[in-house]
């Protein structure tokens, strides 16, 4: 990664230096520029790559813990000093693409003390709904090597209310700034007022059925965050739960792949050496959660796809086009997918772009049906897939990507300049592949190409684990860059990890208020604070990188005073973006960066230069995929590294009804997550 080093001369530049951004001196116009024309830049650096340093405070707040119970030196020694996010999918193919940001972490540790703890746990007791223990607490009690039995009752506590209380009171009592990332490490166990407890989040409703997925035991968590602020609480005295496998202390290898799956147990298990692994390192486990779950996944993650791959031209929009191919007459796909909800969520995620969404209903017939049958193995016809651009790793569904590549204008038309996000939704009687939804890459550039979804109706009276509207929102989130909140990239070690084996504990960060989660119906249908803030920061780094590339191309040829003025205006916008970035005003930073790159695109047009944003997703369809490729797609699966429920269960159920009927999962839906 190239660092921006050197001195500044203008007052604005000096102010940016004080804010923590370091840039080299402005370079003269490239050879070949119009005689006498010199464009002086403060922020854009033609031909360079940004490395914007951000001072990033991270608060570690221990609630209910005594200082003697944790080894702070051990915890802090395992945390990263810096974070350098990169675009993850191109990295699988040997293409390194930095986001253009460096997070310089500054850790502050606080133990809240008795007054805070008394107030907090008193608040939890006051809002709790007390009832019988839930289904997964019962399963925990049936384990052979558990340290104790949970129950006979448990307190069900509102996760959103808990998050808000911790945020408000940490500001009022501890002086923590509202815009700082904070991990609340909570332990109620050992106090006289302790209650076994779980956290719920009601209001997660499927608009197609009206069912509130927050009623499910499978939606209960022991962690939560991102709903109201940049915070996440992690309560080891809660649960145990399904989502993070904490209820199982007997089985080492959950997915039977020969590798033990490392989970974080309830707090009372520490000291138990007879479980599937000895639980003897509380501080080490907390360090893992802070580093990988909070910092790498939630607070400062790496995007899965390039956020700049869907940049529209000035005056144009991001256009989500969903084609519903009806292949199951009893099941009306239009009743499960709603353009207005998709558009509103996408617009809230990226308010600095114009966003539209449309849904088109049509039969599964003709060429699409032929491609579907070939991909699903129903037909042995040769098809169009050359297994280079879309299928070097042997994915049979590459036939669908290949077909839509060749018929893109027919199914996903767009006005010039629009960035189209194409969604092919198949309403079919059974799952043809081991996933519900997939955002497929171009296998040469690692850029997103198509979203494929399969809408299989459950039997009457049943519900599905992931409704189609949530899956569509989830996959469009991937397309513009969002990763799952249970997988990520650790720049210190260079490891890209999934929630299996040594990183199975990363299911813990899945417990956050985002549709990118694998909680039933996602953690929410709306993108959370972490999603929005990270997307905004990524815009600044990636768009500045594109501006650097375009400016070099423009200055290498003849450029008029008008073009020079456009470059100067773009530079002023990016200077405003960087200033806002250092004030933690992420939305203002992204808004200014988008305006700056739009001005660059206008200068490109005037100079006859193809914008770098338009070159990102393009690849030679006849070329060969990179031999370095080792990744798959980013998909919505039900992974084996977490037990697929055969029925969904209700916490505090109505009298006589303890289960919510769920459609039996297709056997292929138990493939490991990717």
Domain end (from 303, 325, 350): 303
Task: Kindly list the averaged pLDDT for each block of 10 residues, start to end, along the chain of length 674.
Answer: 26 30 33 54 94 97 97 98 96 89 98 98 97 96 98 97 98 97 98 98 93 94 98 98 96 94 98 98 98 98 97 97 95 94 98 97 95 89 65 68 90 93 95 88 84 90 89 97 97 96 97 96 95 98 98 94 96 98 97 98 97 73 31 46 74 63 37 24
Quick one: 656 and 577 in the same domain?
no
Quick one: 561 and 664 in the same domain?
no
Whether omega for the bond prior to residue 410 falls within 30 degrees of 0, making it cis, is no
- Which residue's structure tokens are 């600095």? 352
- Which residue's structure tokens are 């360090």? 287
E strands present in 479-588: 488-490, 495-497
Is 76 inside any structural domain? yes
Structural domain count, the chain: 3
Q: Report which of 342, 308, 510, 482 is spatially closest to residue 425, judged by C-alpha positions.
A: 342
CA-to-CA distance for 382 and 390, rounded, in angstroms?
Answer: 15
Is 619 inside any structural domain? no
Q: Report which of 350, 346, 353 is spatially closest to residue 315, judged by C-alpha positions.
A: 353
Quick one: 322 and 227 in the same domain?
no
Is 3 inside any structural domain? no
Q: What was the pLDDT predicted at 501? A: 96
CA-to-CA distance for 304 and 284, rounded, in angstroms?
Answer: 28
CA distance to 16, 21, 103, 382, 576, per residue, from 581 (Å): 10, 10, 12, 52, 8
CA-to-CA distance for 562 and 565, rounded, in angstroms?
Answer: 5
Burial, 125: exposed, middle or buried (Cβ in 10 Å; 0-12, 13-18, 19+)? Answer: middle
CA-to-CA distance for 436 and 175, rounded, in angstroms?
Answer: 45
Quick one: 298 and 311 in the same domain?
no
Domain end (from 280, 303, 326): 303
Quick one: 264 and 208 in the same domain?
yes
Q: What is the DSSP letter of 216?
A: B
Q: What was the pLDDT predicted at 31? A: 37
CA atoms 262, 263, 267, 271: torsion sign:
negative
CA distance to 63, 82, 457, 608, 648, per residue, from 462 (Å): 41, 47, 9, 57, 10
CA-to-CA distance for 58 and 37, rounded, in angstroms?
Answer: 46
Q: Where in the sequence is the domain holding 590, given as residue range(s)?
A: 11-52+543-609
CA-to-CA distance for 287 and 573, rounded, in angstroms?
Answer: 39
DSSP3 helix / strand / coil % (the chain, rounded to 5):
35, 15, 50
Is 514 inside any structural domain? no
Quick one: 292 and 311 in the same domain?
no
Quick one: 238 and 339 in the same domain?
no
Quick one: 466 and 595 in the same domain?
no
Is 149 inside any structural domain? yes
The backbone torsions φ and ψ at residue 83, rounded to the nearest 5 degrees and listed phi first, read -135, 125
Quick one: 214 and 285 in the same domain?
yes
Quick one: 634 and 605 in the same domain?
no
The distance of Cα 157 from the centroid of its chain, to the nearest Å, equals 26
Instruction: Give buried/exposed letters for 74-105 (b at 16+ CB in 10 A, else e).
Output: ebeeebbeebbbbbbbbbbbebebbbbbbbeb
Q: Report which of 190, 170, 181, 59 is spatially closest to residue 112, judged by C-alpha positions.
A: 170
> With contact defined as beta carbons under 8 Å apart, do 292 and 416 qualify?
no
Q: Which residues contact 21 (CB under 8 A, 6 or more apart)?
A: 4, 52, 53, 578, 582
* DSSP bridge pairs for 107: 58
Domain end (from 253, 281, 303): 303
Is 191 inside any structural domain? yes
Quick one: 233 and 122 in the same domain?
yes
- What SS3 class is residue 549? helix
Q: What was the pLDDT predicted at 619? A: 36
Side-chain-facing half-sphere of 557: CA atoms under 13 Å: 10
* Tokens read off for 189: 């166990």
Is 614 inside any structural domain? no
Is 520 inside any structural domain? no
Quick one: 90 and 34 in the same domain?
no
């Amino acid at each position: 990664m190239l660092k921006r080093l050197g001195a500044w001369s203008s007052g604005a530049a000096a102010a940016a230096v004080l804010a923590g951004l370091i840039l080299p001196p402005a370079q003269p116009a490239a050879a070949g520029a119009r005689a006498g024309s010199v464009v002086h830049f403060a922020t854009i650096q033609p031909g360079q790559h940004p490395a914007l340093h951000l001072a990033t405070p991270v608060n570690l707040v221990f609630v209910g813990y005594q200082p003697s119970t944790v080894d702070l030196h051990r915890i802090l020694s395992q945390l990263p000093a810096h974070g350098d996010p990169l675009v993850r999918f191109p990295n699988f193919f040997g293409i390194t693409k930095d986001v253009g940001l460096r997070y310089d972490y500054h850790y502050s540790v606080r133990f809240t003390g008795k007054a805070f703890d008394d107030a907090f746990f008193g608040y939890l007791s006051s809002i709790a709904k007390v009832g019988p223990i839930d289904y997964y607490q019962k399963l925990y009690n049936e384990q052979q090597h558990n340290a104790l039995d949970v129950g006979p009752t448990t307190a069900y506590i509102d996760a959103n209310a808990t998050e808000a209380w911790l945020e408000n009171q940490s500001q009022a009592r501890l002086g923590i700034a509202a815009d700082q990332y904070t991990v609340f490490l909570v332990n109620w166990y050992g106090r006289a007022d302790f209650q076994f407890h779980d956290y719920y989040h009601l209001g997660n409703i499927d608009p197609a059925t009206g069912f509130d997925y927050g009623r499910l035991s499978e939606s209960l968590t022991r962690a939560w965050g991102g709903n109201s602020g940049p915070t996440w609480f992690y309560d080891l005295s809660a649960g145990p739960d399904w989502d993070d496998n904490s209820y199982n202390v007997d089985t080492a290898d959950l997915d039977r792949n020969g590798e033990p799956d490392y989970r974080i147990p309830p707090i009372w298990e520490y000291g138990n050496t007879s479980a599937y692994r000895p639980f003897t390192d509380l501080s080490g486990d907390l360090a893992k959660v802070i580093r990988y779950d909070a910092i790498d996944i939630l607070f400062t993650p790496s995007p899965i796809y390039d956020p700049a791959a869907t940049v529209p031209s000035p005056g144009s929009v991001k256009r989500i086009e969903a084609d519903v191919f009806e292949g199951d007459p009893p099941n009306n796909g239009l009743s499960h997918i709603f353009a207005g909800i998709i558009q509103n969520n996408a617009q809230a995620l990226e308010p600095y772009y114009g966003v539209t969404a449309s849904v088109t209903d049509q039969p599964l017939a003709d060429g699409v049906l032929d491609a579907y049958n070939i991909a699903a193995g129903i037909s042995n016809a040769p098809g169009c897939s050359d297994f280079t651009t879309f299928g070097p790793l042997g994915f049979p569904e590459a036939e669908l990507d290949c077909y839509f590549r060749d018929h893109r204008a027919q199914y996903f038309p767009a006005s010039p300049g629009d960035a189209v996000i194409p969604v092919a939704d198949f309403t079919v009687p059974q799952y043809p592949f081991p996933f519900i939804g997939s955002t497929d890459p171009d296998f040469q550039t690692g850029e997103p190409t198509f979203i494929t979804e399969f809408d299989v109706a459950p039997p009457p009276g049943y519900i599905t684990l992931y409704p189609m509207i949530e899956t569509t929102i989830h996959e469009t989130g991937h397309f513009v860059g969002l990763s799952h909140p249970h997988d990520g990239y650790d720049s210190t070690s260079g490891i890209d990890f999934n929630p299996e084996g040594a990183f199975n504990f990363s299911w813990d960060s899945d417990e956050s208020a985002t549709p990118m989660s694998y909680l039933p119906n996602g953690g929410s249908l709306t993108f959370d604070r972490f999603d929005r803030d990270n997307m905004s920061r990524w815009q600044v780094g990636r768009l500045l990188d594109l501006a650097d590339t375009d400016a070099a191309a423009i200055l290498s040829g003849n450029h008029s005073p008008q073009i020079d003025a456009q470059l100067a205006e773009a530079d002023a916008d990016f200077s405003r973006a960087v200033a806002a970035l250092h004030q933690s005003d992420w939305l203002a930073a992204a808004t200014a960066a988008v305006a700056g790159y739009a001005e660059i695109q206008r200068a490109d047009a005037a100079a006859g230069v193809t914008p770098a944003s338009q070159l990102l997703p393009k690849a030679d369809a006849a070329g060969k995929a990179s031999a370095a490729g080792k990744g798959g797609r980013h998909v919505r699966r039900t992974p084996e590294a977490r037990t697929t429920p055969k029925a969904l269960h209700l916490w505090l159920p109505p009298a006589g009804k303890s289960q919510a009927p769920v459609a039996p999962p297709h056997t292929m839906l138990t493939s490991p997550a990717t």
